[in-house]
Structure 1
Amino acid sequence: MATISKCCISGFKWEGTPTGRDTKLGDLNTYTAVGASGAESDGKGVAILYIHDAFGWTFVNARLLCDAYAEEVGAAVYMPDFFAGEVIPADILNDGKRWGEYDFPGFMARNSRENRWSQIQSAAAALKEEYAKVAVVGFCFGGWGAFQLGSEEFNPRLVDCISVAHPSNLTTNDIDNISVPVQICAPEVDAWFTPALKKYATEVIPTKGVAFDYQHFPGVEHGFATRVDPEKEGEKRAMLRAKRAQVAWLSEWLHGE
């Protein structure tokens, strides 16, 4: 199993001002974005649960992505705080000399699957009560959570589709139990989503009777979909390609027939 490393905490903060607002989903602090054609809690609309990466619910890049999904998919997007108020300082992203300032092993222990799964499940269930359809996007830490929400253990379904990019802590059991349409955006280099897990996913998921979209991103690493340097053309293109792919996937399963 990989440990917290450069791939999880390196990258860049993006320029921009989020346009959503801080609300509550159950008892969780939550960033909420609603596009021009999205609607909050009308019982007929569609929602996206965004499960953030290690930089949490206040990270500007994540909030900008929520805004983009809300506008481009036409959905209400909710990103709860799944780290109990703990925030990794975003300004250490591109300063390797500062990585030692933070207790990453302790952070991983405090925010393990066992400690956070009940909150993730409750957040999805709350949205399912209010919206006709619910999708999940998950990045890094959020990847395993998205797969868990799409598990066959939920009947009726808890969510209608999932999309993940560079998932961490994913297991073969998570893959075995998937029962909803699933999209994976996979970088070429990833210490968490290893070649063995990639191979397992691409062999097993097509046998599960669900729609499957596997997107390969050459030349980029773990974190590319949320923390690339926008000044680097190859990285920027990969990030934008991932966003476009996710918007198309979410739109299909939230608005398609």
Structure 2
Amino acid sequence: MPDFYHGAVLGEDSFSIEIEGDKVELKTDPSFDFGNWYAANNPDVRMPEVLECARKLRSQYSWTGAVGFCWGGQVGFKLASRSNADLFNAVSIGHPGTDKATEDDIHEIAVPFHIIAPQYDPTFPQEYKDMCNQEIPKLRVDYCYDYFPGVVHGFATKCDPKKELEKKALERAKNAVVHWITTHT
């Protein structure tokens, strides 16, 4: 897998999620300059490289799928779009982060699309989850939305293995992605 960040690591401790009642907030480590990192690595900046990689893969394989989490989840909306529909047979995303998917991004989905959504996610709030669940079924593409109660953004790529809820959610998410991709081969 190519390093689309060009060595600019977004470490596990670069951010945290705080939950107070219904309020969910993303906190960044003050020693990490997220603004500069994001300016250099936001999905729109890196999309040409992502598409170049996707085209190369597609030229070598008759079937391709995309799986993306957080940053890659946001990219997944663009990879599933009508303009890129010839690149992937299916896309699965988990807790898409950084920029929120726009209604246009959602209406452009043209390939089988799968979403893994945690209960607590400041980058994929309930109104966006609702928009996906209202609008994607209208597109007549195969669509699956898997909801994971009690977990936060990032759960499907990292969890505290000592916390049974997180561990089970991560395992269920992995199985859901594998099932989605193998169902569409």
TM-score, normalisation: structure 2 = 0.87
1:218 aligned residue? 149
CA contact (8 A) 2:73 2:94 kept: yes
1:247 aligned residue? 178
1:123 aligns with 2:53: yes
* Structure-1 separation of matches of 2:14 and 2:106: 33
Identity of aligned residues (%): 38
CA contact (8 A) 1:144 1:174 kept: no
- State the one-letter code of the partner of 2:103: T
Deviation at 1:86, TM superposition (A): 1.2
Q: Choose the corresponding residue for 2:37, options 73, 97, 107.
A: 107
Q: Give aligned pairs, total.
A: 172
Flag the 1:217–1:148 CA change in 2: closer, same or farther, 3 A. Answer: same
Secondary structure of 2:64's aligned partner:
strand
* Structure-2 separation of matches of 1:82 and 1:122: 11
* Structure-2 separation of matches of 1:154 and 1:234: 36
- State the one-letter code of the partner of 1:148: K
Q: Choose the corresponding residue for 1:199, options 118, 130, 139.
A: 130
CA contact (8 A) 1:229 1:235 kept: yes
* Structure-1 separation of matches of 2:154 and 2:12: 14
Larger RCO: 1 or 2 (CA < 8 Å, sep 6+)? 1
Q: Unaligned 5+ residue runs, structure 2?
A: 17-27
Deviation at 1:227, TM superposition (A): 1.4
Mapping of 1:141-160 within 5 angstroms? 141-154=71-84, 157-160=86-89
* Structure-2 separation of matches of 1:223 and 1:165: 8
Q: Deviations over 1:147-187 (max 9, x none)?
A: 111111236x1111000000022222111100000000000
2:169 aligned residue? 238
* Structure-2 separation of matches of 1:200 and 1:113: 21
Deviation at 1:123, TM superposition (A): 0.8
2:21 aligned residue? none
1:86 aligned residue? 8
* Structure-2 separation of matches of 1:235 and 1:186: 13
- State the one-letter code of the partner of 1:115: V
1:182 aligns with 2:113: yes
* Structure-2 separation of matches of 1:200 and 1:251: 26
Secondary structure of 2:83's aligned partner:
coil
* Structure-2 separation of matches of 1:125 and 1:108: 25
